[in-house]
A and B are shown apart, each in its own frame.
Chain A
């Protein structure tokens, strides 16, 4: 039984990464109607930026949590201004393929310069060590990840669902012409939204740098799982993707205990089952 508690907790930790990443995807899909295949590559960039900040600029992990999302977010906004904005009104497929191409380019360039085996990034001194919870040994860093990402997720949800800025955003996706008539710069809002979504991906990258090897392909396999999370939660639903992210982490954790071979596949089983019962995901709107 003790082992099971441990697995649940560990699952929750993984769930926080899924939640952060799927949240970014959901924000982008909700506002831009683009399925951002480059999300994994941008997550990877976040981790790399943290590495460079530390090793070239001597900037610590704590500042990287702030700067890396901003730097990658600006990169994302440039992408949006120069490429993605031309896809407005087109089928989802084109956004998917364009961002897929971007992901290939970004991953290829990083691989070329830094190789495939990656770079080390140490856990910051303040978060080293762990504590014994009785049923498991919990590294302090992992505890930090859960709490921090939960806060970020709720803050993002609040920003979009409860503030005036969020209201504009939501209105702009529903009816851009009308919102523009109120004197609001819709294209700029869209650019900022993409930057926000991308920044969330980069933030997840910084958080994972001390746990996972900082590798060019670290996001490539994750992205498909995160897609599944977003679909299960309902495309574009902010709360849906947060809850599904954490829940999936827990379910995956249990699978790792009972049938570990299937732990990467269980998310797809869930997706099929959910879509059979609820055709647009748990909380989603029609595509």
Chain B
């Protein structure tokens, strides 16, 4: 039995029997066109699963599985959107989901990094930032910065810092924030986030964890 979190750019697949997590591009998942997942969430999942679960519901249940505190905030930063939940007494107090305008910043970072051949493992965070109103406006600022003589690495680091500021504001400026998604592996993002609050990365399987309740009986 397979559970999947099919994001816009990355798909995370959990084989329940072997407890192994496979992470592939969503492009590859679409190309495989295999048998439907038992339970799935994510933008690209709805037509490819037996049971579809809303992403925010998956994040809520996954967050509660990973974190044993009564009051906490969790954010999932994806390629296309940002999902946020604040719990009080382990009940949902506030949710938000950044879509369309103001979103698509995650995938823009990947596009920029691929274009400029940037290695995130060695990219240092910077104190300056650019305004990342949305992926398109942010990319325009990076291209402008590089045109004006700035290094691509520093320009992308400024983009990441600008995105971090957006995430911090979007999550209502918490003192501590649990992070879900691919940016848990991005040192520049984590170091930039540390300038604003304590960030605790939970990895890329939080939403999949939130799917497990669907197969319990």
Q: Bound pair: A and B?
A: no
- Seen from chain B, the residues whose Cβ lies within 8 Å of a Cβ on chain A are none
- Seen from chain A, the residues whose Cβ lies within 8 Å of a Cβ on chain B are none
